[in-house]
Amino acid sequence: MKLLTATQTREADAFTIKEEGITSTDLMERAARAFTCWFENKFPPGREVHIFCGPGNNGGDGLAVARLLHGRTYTVRLYLVGDTTNASDDFKVNLERLPHDLKPTQLAQQAAMPELSQNVCVIDALFGTGLNRPVTGFYGGVINSLNDSGACITSIDMPSGLYTDSQTPEEGAIIKASYTISFELPKLAFLLPQHEEFVGEWHVVKIGLSQQFLSEVRADLCYTTREDVQRLIRPRKKFSHKGIYGHALLLCGGYGKIGAAVLAARACLRSGVGLLTIQAPQAGYIILQTAVPEAMTLTDKNRRHLSELPREIDKFDVIGVGPGLGTERVTKTAIGQLLATSHHPLVIDADAINIIAGSEKLKAQLPKKKAIFTPHPKEFERLVGKVKNDYDRLQHLREFCVEYQCYVTLKGSHTAIGTPEGKVYFNSTGNSGMATGGTGDVLTGIVTALVGQAYTLEEACLLGVYVHGLAADLALHTVGAISMTASDVIDHLPKAFLHLTRPMP
Ligand SMILES: NC(=O)C1=CN([C@@H]2O[C@H](COP(=O)(O)OP(=O)(O)OC[C@H]3O[C@@H](n4cnc5c(N)ncnc54)[C@H](O)[C@@H]3O)[C@@H](O)[C@H]2O)[C@@H](O)CC1
Ligand SMILES: Nc1ncnc2c1ncn2[C@@H]1O[C@H](COP(=O)(O)OP(=O)(O)O)[C@@H](O)[C@H]1O
Ligand SMILES: [K+]
């Protein structure tokens, strides 16, 4: 699914209106109905609902929603905020459509702000995607009062004051919504951790924007849905054998961190790899042979740390490297040898990232379009330097992937996958139960297995990150977020793959 900018959203609205031969007021009515339908399911009728409308089409939505909720036995209080004499045309049409027993209050000064108790619902229809400057002055005061009221705020389309797809200037006030109901598609702003307190829980409601426009519009940012990844999965063939599904090598584990190798290996095996070999320091031999009997284990001459590469390295189809390695000098040398000599696709995580980040020479040796980095935000900063905010981080992500012609899965609540072409895909699965040690090692194992099965690197990133989060979402039902461990994520991988191979509901 593509993510559109505010400008593209306006173009999508205009295209739909023209294509369907409807008026912009008709499209607004659809949007208002879709919002109202969500609202009625969430908040039972009879509630007191205070709706604050700004001067644009977001305010127009608010007026239409007020009319619809008023007709459904909610107690609606309606406020027109600021100067609405130059309001948008659709705002004016919807103002005229208000029933005679629903009189709006004009709010022109801060002192007139109503006292709101904590148990009323607020609908924020001040500004949407048309915001073109930071919200200050009277509007800023209204936003701050609403935030301070403690009432539950539901925003129409955007939390008012938040920029859709660029950094909001510091001086701008922003609504802190509990819920944000976006029309047709999510917005980039929803996917960035720095906006959590403004966006709250977000949902998308369909308003029937033109499918032709959405399929043809150029977008470098996407949001990966189940439909997107289901297309990628290849069923296994009846006459297939283990040789077809790739031989993966994991270079993982160090003294005290052999568990990282166990996790990566178990996840790799649960993700369909044909054969798996792990090269680990001697300290890991018995542990790995016991915990992961399906895998072959090669031991390093070093007891505690990886210090060499397997002799027959050419026979492997993919190498996953990093979890639990440590950054000893001998390990750095081994990583140097790997980059200098191997021609394999590489999945590079954890300490392997840290080692490469510390050396311009190693970075320059990265094989083009053959490496996937899987950093968390701290590891990513080691690769690219300190970032100023989430937008800056995204910019660095694109630049790094283009410069080094590599893939990066920048991990987080909506893991962002960067490609050598400068595209970014945000993941839609996963939950806070994954914020626990070892879940990253699991991802390394999954992605390594998928590359081994000859998925393209882009496919392996998209599918791997999605299925990793999906397994955790399924684990949520059995173990919950607090108790979830990395092993629980592995244990739910079979269900996750099964889920994805079933037809769409
Ligand atoms: N265009 C369409 O056909 C549709 C639009 N929809 C709604 O329309 C919204 C976009 O509407 P608009 O483009 O009219 O824009 P908005 O309603 O988001 O805001 C634009 C208005 O706010 C003023 N404004 C912007 N920034 C301000 C600031 N910082 N302080 C004070 N005033 C400020 C502008 O001068 C303008 O009057 C969407 O978010 C969505 O809610 C939906 O009804 C779907 C259909
Ligand atoms: N709040 C969250 N919501 C969704 N996914 C999360 C959340 N916190 C962490 N994750 C996921 O968990 C994994 C953690 O990886 P990482 O930090 O490398 O862990 P470790 O190094 O301990 O293995 C990543 O895939 C990340 O996307
Ligand atoms: K809004």
226-267 pLDDT per residue, tens: 999 999 999 898 898 888 899 999 999 999 999 999 999 999
For the stretch 347-406, pLDDT in tens is: 999 999 999 998 999 999 999 999 999 999 999 999 999 999 999 999 999 999 999 999
Co-location of 181 and 85 in the same domain: yes
Q: What percent of the chain shows pLDDT beyond 90?
A: 94
Q: Which of the listed residues 159, 186, 219 is the one where a domain comes to its end? A: 219
Ligand 3 centre to CA of 201 (Å) is: 14
Determine the pLDDT at residue 250: 98
Q: Is 480 helix (H, G, I), strand (E, B) or coil?
A: helix
- Residue 142 is assigned to a structural domain of this protein: yes
Inform me whether the pLDDT recorded for 440 exceeds 90: yes
Which residues belong to the annotated binding site for AMP? 411-415, 440
Q: Kindly state the average pLDDT of the residues 439-445.
A: 98
Cβ–Cβ < 8 Å for 354, 325: no
Give the number of other CB atoms < 10 A from CB of residue 340.
Answer: 10
Query: DSSP for 190-217?
Result: GGSGGGHHHH-EEEEE-----HHHHHHS
Determine the pLDDT at residue 325: 96
Counting from 1 in the atom list of ligand 2, the atom nearest the Cα of 468 is: 25
Residue nearest to atom 11 of ligand 2 (CA): 434
DSSP tag of 43:
S
The token pair at 325 is 């390695």
Q: Kindly state the average pLDDT of the residues 439-459.
A: 98
Backbone phi and psi for residue 255, each to the nearest 5 degrees, phi listed first: -55, 130
Dihedral sign computed on CA atoms, order 247, 251, 252, 254:
positive
Determine the pLDDT at residue 243: 83
In which residue are the tokens 């701008």 written?
172
Determine the pLDDT at residue 337: 96
Co-location of 314 and 418 in the same domain: yes
Domains in the chain: how many in total? 2
Pocket test residue of 263, 376, 379 for ligand 2, highest count of atoms within 8 A of CB: 376
The token pair at 249 is 């090598």
Chain centre to alpha carbon of residue 128: 21
Ligand 3 is an ion; its neighbours by CB within 5 Å are 58, 124, 155-156, 160
The C-alpha torsion from 47 through 52 and 56 to 60, rounded to 10°, is: 30
Determine the pLDDT at residue 322: 98
Co-location of 205 and 254 in the same domain: no
Co-location of 173 and 282 in the same domain: no
CA dist 72 → 43, 68, 133 (Å) = 12, 7, 36
Q: Could you give the angle at the alpha carbon of 44 between the alpha carbons of 125 and 152, nearest 5°?
A: 45
Cβ–Cβ < 8 Å for 416, 426: yes
pLDDT tier for residue 324 given thresholds of 50, 70 and 90: very high
Q: Is the pTM of this model over 0.90?
A: yes
Where residue 378 sits, what CATH number does that domain have?
3.40.1190.20
Ligand 2 centre to CA of 147 (Å) is: 30
Determine the pLDDT at residue 412: 97
- Residue 224 is assigned to a structural domain of this protein: no
- Residue 464 is assigned to a structural domain of this protein: no
Beta strand ranges found along 362-473 (DSSP E): 371-373, 407-410, 416-418, 424-426
Length of the chain: 505
- Residue 462 is assigned to a structural domain of this protein: no
Co-location of 136 and 267 in the same domain: no
Give the number of other CB atoms < 10 A from CB of residue 503.
Answer: 5
Per the rule left: phi > 0, alpha: psi between -120 and 50, beta: everything else, 60 is alpha
Give the number of other CB atoms < 10 A from CB of residue 99.
Answer: 10
**Strands 346-348, 318-321: parallel, antiparallel or unpaired by DSSP?**
parallel
Co-location of 255 and 136 in the same domain: no
For the stretch 51-92, pLDDT in tens is: 999 999 999 999 999 999 999 989 999 999 999 899 999 999
pLDDT tier for residue 122 given thresholds of 50, 70 and 90: very high
CB burial readout 282-294, b (16+ within 10 A) else e? ebbbebbeebbee
Which residues, in sequence order, are CB contacts of 315 under 8 Å at separation 6+? 247
Of 350, 297, 345, the C-alpha closest to 449 is 345
Which residues belong to the annotated binding site for (6S)-NADPHX? 57-61, 128-134, 139, 157, 260, 324, 376, 441
Ligand at shortest distance from the CA of 133: 1
Cβ–Cβ < 8 Å for 242, 449: no
One-letter amino acid of 459: E
Interface confidence (ipTM) of the complex: 0.90
For the stretch 154-174, pLDDT in tens is: 999 999 999 999 999 999 999
Coarse DSSP helix, strand, coil percentages of the chain, rounded to the nearest 5 percent: 45, 15, 40
Ligand at shortest distance from the CA of 182: 1
Co-location of 251 and 346 in the same domain: yes
First to last CA, the chain: 18
- Residue 314 is assigned to a structural domain of this protein: yes
Residue nearest to atom 19 of ligand 2 (CA): 440
Q: Is 348 helix (H, G, I), strand (E, B) or coil?
A: strand
Q: Could you give the angle at the alpha carbon of 304 between the alpha carbons of 408 and 375, nearest 5°?
A: 10
Q: Taking all residues of the chain, what is their mean pLDDT, rounded to a whole number?
A: 96
Cβ–Cβ < 8 Å for 453, 246: yes
For the stretch 28-46, pLDDT in tens is: 999 999 999 999 999 988 8
Cβ–Cβ < 8 Å for 35, 228: no
Residue nearest to atom 15 of ligand 2 (CA): 440
Ligand 2 centre to CA of 440 (Å) is: 6
The strand order across the sheet containing 416-418 reads 221-223, 424-426, 416-418, 407-410, 371-373, 346-348, 318-321, 247-251, 275-280, 296-299
- Residue 229 is assigned to a structural domain of this protein: no
Give the number of other CB atoms < 10 A from CB of residue 193.
Answer: 11
Q: Which of the listed residues 442, 457, 472 is the one where a domain comes to its end? A: 457
User: Is the CB of 133 inside a 6 Å radius of any atom of ligand 1?
Assistant: yes
Backbone phi and psi for residue 306, each to the nearest 5 degrees, phi listed first: -65, 130
Counting from 1 in the atom list of ligand 2, the atom nearest the Cα of 438 is: 23
d(CA 121, CA 135): 22
The token pair at 412 is 């987080």
pLDDT tier for residue 328 given thresholds of 50, 70 and 90: very high
Give the number of other CB atoms < 10 A from CB of residue 397.
Answer: 24
The H or E element spanning position 474 is: helix 457-483
Of 332, 369, 368, the C-alpha closest to 353 is 332
Q: Kindly state the average pLDDT of the residues 397-425.
A: 98
The token pair at 369 is 């379009």
Of 216, 215, 207, the C-alpha closest to 13 is 207
User: Is the CB of 435 inside a 6 Å radius of any atom of ligand 2?
Assistant: yes
Q: Kindly state the average pLDDT of the residues 99-122.
A: 93
Determine the pLDDT at residue 504: 75
d(CA 46, CA 75): 6
Co-location of 215 and 176 in the same domain: yes
Of 338, 324, 236, 318, the C-alpha closest to 277 is 318
User: Is the CB of 485 inside a 6 Å radius of any atom of ligand 2?
Assistant: no
Domain that includes residue 447, residue range: 240-457
User: Is the CB of 193 inside a 6 Å radius of any atom of ligand 2?
Assistant: no
Determine the pLDDT at residue 318: 98
For the stretch 290-317, pLDDT in tens is: 999 999 999 999 999 999 999 999 999 9
d(CA 59, CA 290): 64
Ligand 2 centre to CA of 398 (Å) is: 21
Co-location of 251 and 143 in the same domain: no
Co-location of 28 and 130 in the same domain: yes
Ligand at shortest distance from the CA of 205: 1
pLDDT tier for residue 10 given thresholds of 50, 70 and 90: very high
Co-location of 24 and 96 in the same domain: yes
Co-location of 256 and 193 in the same domain: no
Bridge-partner residues for 201, per DSSP?
179
